[in-house]
Amino acid sequence: MILVTGATGHIGNVLIRKLLEQGEKVRALLWRDEDTSPIVGLEVEKMTGDVLDSKSLETAMSGVNTVYHLAGIISIMPGRNPLVWQVNVEGTRNVLETARRVGVRRLVYTSSIHAIARAPHGVEMDESLGFDQNNPYGEYDRSKAAASLEVQKAVNSGLDAVIVCPTGVIGPHDYRGSELGEVIRSASEARTMFYVEGAYDFVDVRDVADGLIAAHAHGRRGESYILSGQKLSVRYLLETVREVTGKAFSSIKIPFSLAELAARFTPWYYLRTKAKPRFTPYSLEVLQSNANISHAKAARELGYKPRPIVETISDTVRWFIENTRKMNRPELAG
């Protein structure tokens, strides 16, 4: 039996699909009242629990030999966020302690490229940079770094665990609408697009799921593996969506200086309206940061090989179009 935390997230639901295709028995850990639409129709055992509740974790891990720990809170908002730290760090610590106590054979932790220390432009980023829990760029980055260090401590205490660090994840089955997923969806609907010049490394969610499974099978205990894809500019993304859909839409470039000025006020807007944050100083920083990221270690040790990013964009556009069609015509769903 395999336990997946964060089962309804983008990576989580795709990972479950991959595991089921391989004939594995999967148990999904779900928060109370969580929207389970991303895993509807999948032959998975659903169990209510909370990474902050060790008793529920012990129940969820009963009879489990493998844990994929993906549950966490992503935040691109500035400032401290106690819940991010509680779930991402304390929650991970609880998962690790419970896994060791009940005798889980192997745990695969999904960290993030943002947990790794930043490197200046011109320097290739790889696993040797280590995790930086004093990262100045965001609470999410610091929390994922601290959680990754907790995994390494647990390994030193006897737990068999491995860490994977995906870059920016895009791809099909994006039910909750990731930041870049929403850009792809809006462009596929031929809306007017405003964008800031910049680029980052993005990877297909299906390749990340394959990388997680490969890390379980072949990853060395206590090691971390970057799962990157390809450096992609926002402009190239929009042009590719235009080519895939054949739809013309306006794309307007916003000067970076103007975007920086506007980003000073957007966090206040998101807090006031409770809208999902999309455009903040953090997201601008990411688009301007070093995107020269190596997955050579994962390729060498795990057999990791990400697909061309144009294939990812094409499949994502098609998924959004088909998913919208199903929502508009319920008889097609299922």
pLDDT digits (tens, 9 = 90+) for 164-221: 999 999 999 999 888 888 888 888 888 887 777 788 899 999 999 999 999 999 999 9
Q: What average pLDDT is seen over the chain?
A: 87
Asked whether residue 334 carries a pLDDT value surpassing 50, the answer given is no
Asked whether residue 13 carries a pLDDT value surpassing 90, the answer given is yes
Q: How many CA atoms lie within 13 A of 315 on its CB side?
A: 15
Residue 68, classified by CB atoms within 10 Å of its CB into exposed (0-12), middle (13-18) or buried (19+), is buried
pLDDT of residue 223: 97
Question: How many CB atoms are closer than 10 A to CB 19?
Answer: 22
Pairing mode of beta strands 251-254, 193-196: parallel
Distance of alpha carbon 231 from alpha carbon 74, whole angstroms = 21
pLDDT of residue 268: 55
Place of tokens 């809006």: 186
Higher pLDDT, 205 or 133: 205
- Using 50, 70 and 90 to split pLDDT, how confident is the model at 78? low
Q: Flag the least confident range among 37-51, 214-228, 254-268.
A: 254-268
Helix, strand or coil, per DSSP, at residue 162: strand
pLDDT of residue 15: 98
Instruction: Provide mean pLDDT across the span 226-237.
Output: 91
Asked whether residue 304 carries a pLDDT value surpassing 70, the answer given is yes
Helix, strand or coil, per DSSP, at residue 116: strand
pLDDT of residue 332: 38
Distance of alpha carbon 201 from alpha carbon 215, whole angstroms = 20
Distance of alpha carbon 320 from alpha carbon 182, whole angstroms = 10
pLDDT of residue 137: 74
Asked whether residue 162 carries a pLDDT value surpassing 70, the answer given is yes
Contact between residue 125 and residue 292 where contact means Cβ atoms under 8 Å apart: yes
Contact between residue 325 and residue 235 where contact means Cβ atoms under 8 Å apart: no
**Helices 179-188 and 309-328: angle between axes, nearest 10 degrees:** 70
Distance of alpha carbon 225 from alpha carbon 127, whole angstroms = 7
Instruction: Provide mean pLDDT across the span 285-311.
Output: 90
